[in-house]
Structures are given as structure tokens and as C-alpha cells.
């Protein structure tokens, strides 16, 4: 029998990567049947999931308690996130109703390399220089940067992406310090950086880069209080989650010049704009509009992950998650409320599913 999957918020590149993955030898015997919807999954269109075994969603699909209940009534058995983050899903409500899996990693190099690209572009004013030369303005005034060599970068969160970032920046001769509630002492010794407390990181970093997950402890970790502890002219980079930064207080820091520059690939209210063409509409988000007026701020639309390798890996891992579900074995990438002591990531026991 076929396994029917409804994809939501599906773009052309999603469709191409999943159709390619579907034809791989390991997936052929599972008779996957795909339906791609451009719309994001919400309570308004959850009726479209009737008759499907699984739904495949992305970061801006809003899977509330009410949506979970409708999915359950529609006999959907699996929610497959084609992303790492899962803060848009009420996985507590889904427990013992619908299994939820994610793609915990797809290409740490994609996000890490993009993170460093933002640092370099902001430092050397590449975005400004590009605009100038297009207008035949070849003056250098206002474009001065600084040597990355021997400057200090503070990394908040030291998961796989952050580790790649740190290796790259080590090659630039930067001094690296990091903060993590679960420090990897072996990696610290291997790379030759140092873990410090968060206040030391704020006070001594020339650049701060965010790589921690979004949860109750990290929401708005960058706020007026933390900004006040930072060096004057600090650069802040966020390729993690938008709500790691209080945007209103970031703007105040930019206005006062306490913050020298910011590179943001994510934004706390990005779901209203990111991944869509809104060029023919009036922007009603005052905070985002204000951010876009700063010459020392680069905002991009959550594209750090966007490489061929990452898209291929996302499709492969998502279909692997589905194969495990069909084969009724433990879902190694499951998000499980019962295992919330592990930050919601199901550890599983005895190679069986959690419920």
C-alpha cells in the first residue's frame, strides 16, 4: 500500500529535492505518494490532510493544539518536520496521538559558512560597497573595517554548527570564547578556546554569534540588560532563531551605537514575511521596517541553510524518518513530550517507539 504524505509550505526547491529523493532505491519499495501544497498548514486548511498518513511541514507552519486535534481526527499518524527547530509544534498535545520527527542536522557547514559570511560582509561593508559601485561611486570613505585576526568572538551555544563556525574563525586567528550550559570540554581542549560565563562573554567579545536553541531559558537572551554589558560597537550575528533577540531593544542598541552592526538571518516575527515575495505590498511590521533602514544591519530571509547539499540531506533524512515509522521501529529523530527532560528529544528504549 502507498504511504500518502501532504507537504505544506512547499516551494519549487522542496518539490524538486523530495521527488528526487523519492526515486532513490532505498525509497522505492515504500510507495510514497506526495501531494504538495503551497499554503502553510494551519487550522484554516487542516481539512486538506484528510486521507493522508503523514504531513510534512516547515518552520512557519503553525501546529497548535487545535491543529493537532484535527490531524488526529483525520487519522494522520506522523508529522515530519523538514527542519531542525520544532517550537512551532505543540508536541505536548501530540503525545500519544501523533508521532513527530524532525531533521536534527542537515548541513552544519551551510549555516556556519553563512554565519561567517555575514560577519565579513558587515565588517568590510561589502553590502554598502556593492551599492555604491553600481552607482559609479568608488569612494572608500565609510567603508573601513577591522582585522579579524586577534579580535575576540563569543559563541553562545556550541552545537555542531557552532563548532564549524569556531573552526573557521580559528583559521582567521581570532580569540574564541564560548558559553554553553553543557560545555564540551574535549572540544575545548582540541580547538584551544575557552568556555566562560555569559557575562564575561558579553563584556569581552568584539563579535557575538548565536547558536543556541530557542527555549524558555534562551528566549530574548539578547535584550537591553545583556546589551548594556557588551563592548561598545559590538557586532551581533543571529543565524539561529529570531526570538533569541528582543528586536525592539536591539534597535535601541543600534540607535545608541552601543551595537556597531548586526547580521540577522532570522527575525522574531518572520513568519509574516520570510520565504515569500512581498515586494508589491506595504510592510506593516514597524520593527522590521526600522531594521531595514540601518546601513550597519544586514537582514536576510532565513537562507543560511539554503545549499544544494542541505536540501538533499533534508529530503533524505525526512524520508528515512518516514521509513522508520512505516517499519514500526524506534524513531531516532522523534520529538517526544515524555522525554522532555531531554529537551523534548526522544531517546527511545529497546528499539521501540515511545508510544
Q: What is the CATH number of the domain that holds 216?
A: 3.40.50.720
Under DSSP, is residue 267 helix (H, G, I), strand (E, B) or coil?
Answer: coil
pLDDT (0 to 100) of residue 294: 97
In a domain, 76, yes or no: yes
Would residue 211 show up in a list of annotated catalytic residues for this protein? no
76 and 113 co-located in one domain: no
Closest to 106 (Cα-Cα) out of 311, 343, 294, 291: 311
100 and 127 co-located in one domain: no
259: alpha, beta or left? (left if phi > 0; alpha if psi -120 to 50): beta
How many structural domains is the chain composed of?
2
In a domain, 351, yes or no: no
Give me the catalytic one of 40, 102, 302, 324.
302
201 HSE (CA, 13 A, CB side): 24
236 and 166 co-located in one domain: yes
Would residue 302 show up in a list of annotated catalytic residues for this protein? yes
In a domain, 328, yes or no: yes
Element (H or E) spanning 56, and its range? strand 54-57
In a domain, 347, yes or no: no
Give me the catalytic one of 82, 241, 268, 334.
241
285 and 314 co-located in one domain: no
- What residues make up the domain containing 150? 108-299
pLDDT (0 to 100) of residue 341: 45
Residue ranges of the chain whose pLDDT lies below 70: 338-355
321 and 272 co-located in one domain: no
Closest to 119 (Cα-Cα) out of 265, 6, 255: 265
Give me the catalytic one of 93, 249, 270, 334.
270
99 and 118 co-located in one domain: no
170 HSE (CA, 13 A, CB side): 14
Q: Which pTM value belongs to this model? A: 0.89
Alpha-carbon distances of 104 from 12, 30, 44, 86, 215, rounded to whole Å: 23, 23, 28, 10, 16
124 and 203 co-located in one domain: yes
280 and 156 co-located in one domain: yes
In a domain, 253, yes or no: yes
84 and 135 co-located in one domain: no
52 and 133 co-located in one domain: no
158 and 226 co-located in one domain: yes
264 HSE (CA, 13 A, CB side): 25
Report the chain's C-alpha Rg in angstroms. Answer: 22
In a domain, 348, yes or no: no
80 and 162 co-located in one domain: no
Owner of C-alpha cell 528504549: 349
Would residue 241 show up in a list of annotated catalytic residues for this protein? yes
In a domain, 354, yes or no: no
In a domain, 349, yes or no: no
Amino acid at each position: 500500500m502507498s504511504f500518502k504524505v501532504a507537504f505544506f509550505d512547499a516551494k519549487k526547491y522542496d518539490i524538486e529535492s523530495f521527488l528526487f529523493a523519492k526515486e532513490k532505491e532505498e525509497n522505492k519499495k515504500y510507495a510514497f505518494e506526495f501531494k504538495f501544497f503551497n499554503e502553510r498548514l494551519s487550522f484554516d486548511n487542516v481539512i486538506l490532510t484528510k486521507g493522508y498518513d503523514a504531513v510534512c511541514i516547515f518552520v512557519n507552519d503553525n501546529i497548535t493544539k487545535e491543529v493537532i486535534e484535527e490531524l488526529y481526527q483525520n487519522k494522520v499518524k506522523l508529522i515530519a518536520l523538514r527542519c531542525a527547530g520544532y517550537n512551532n509544534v505543540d508536541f505536548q498535545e501530540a503525545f500519544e496521538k501523533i508521532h513527530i520527527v524532525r531533521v536534527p542536522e542537515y548541513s552544519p557547514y551551510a549555516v556556519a559558512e553563512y554565519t561567517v559570511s555575514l560577519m565579513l560582509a558587515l565588517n568590510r561593508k561589502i553590502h554598502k560597497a556593492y551599492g555604491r559601485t553600481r552607482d559609479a561611486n568608488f569612494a572608500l570613505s565609510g567603508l573601513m573595517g577591522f582585522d579579524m585576526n586577534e579580535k575576540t568572538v563569543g559563541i553562545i551555544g556550541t552545537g555542531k554548527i557552532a563548532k564549524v563556525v569556531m573552526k573557521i574563525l580559528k583559521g582567521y586567528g581570532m580569540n574564541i570564547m564560548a558559553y554553553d550550559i553543557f560545555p564540551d570540554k574535549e572540544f575545548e581542549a582540541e580547538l584551544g578556546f575557552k568556555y566562560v560565563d555569559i557575562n564575561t562573554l558579553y563584556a569581552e567579545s568584539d563579535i557575538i554569534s548565536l547558536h543556541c536553541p530557542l527555549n524558555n531559558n534562551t528566549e530574548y537572551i539578547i535584550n537591553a540588560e545583556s546589551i548594556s554589558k557588551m563592548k561598545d560597537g559590538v557586532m551581533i550575528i543571529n543565524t539561529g532563531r529570531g526570538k533569541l533577540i528582543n528586536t525592539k531593544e536591539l534597535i535601541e542598541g543600534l540607535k545608541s551605537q552601543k551595537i556597531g552592526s548586526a547580521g540577522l538571518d532570522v527575525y522574531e516575527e518572520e513568519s509574516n514575511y520570510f520565504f515569500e515575495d512581498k515586494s508589491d505590498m506595504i510592510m506593516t511590521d514597524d520593527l522590521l521596517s526600522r531594521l531595514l533602514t540601518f546601513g550597519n544591519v544586514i537582514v536576510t530571509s532565513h537562507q543560511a541553510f539554503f545549499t544544494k547539499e542541505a536540501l538533499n540531506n533534508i529530503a533524505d533524512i525526512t524520508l528515512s524518518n518516514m521509513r522508520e515509522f512505516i517499519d514500526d521501529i524506534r524513531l531516532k529523530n522523534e520529538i517526544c513530550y515524555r522525554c522532555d527532560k531531554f529537551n523534548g528529544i526522544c531517546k527511545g528504549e529497546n528499539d521501540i517507539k515511545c508510544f
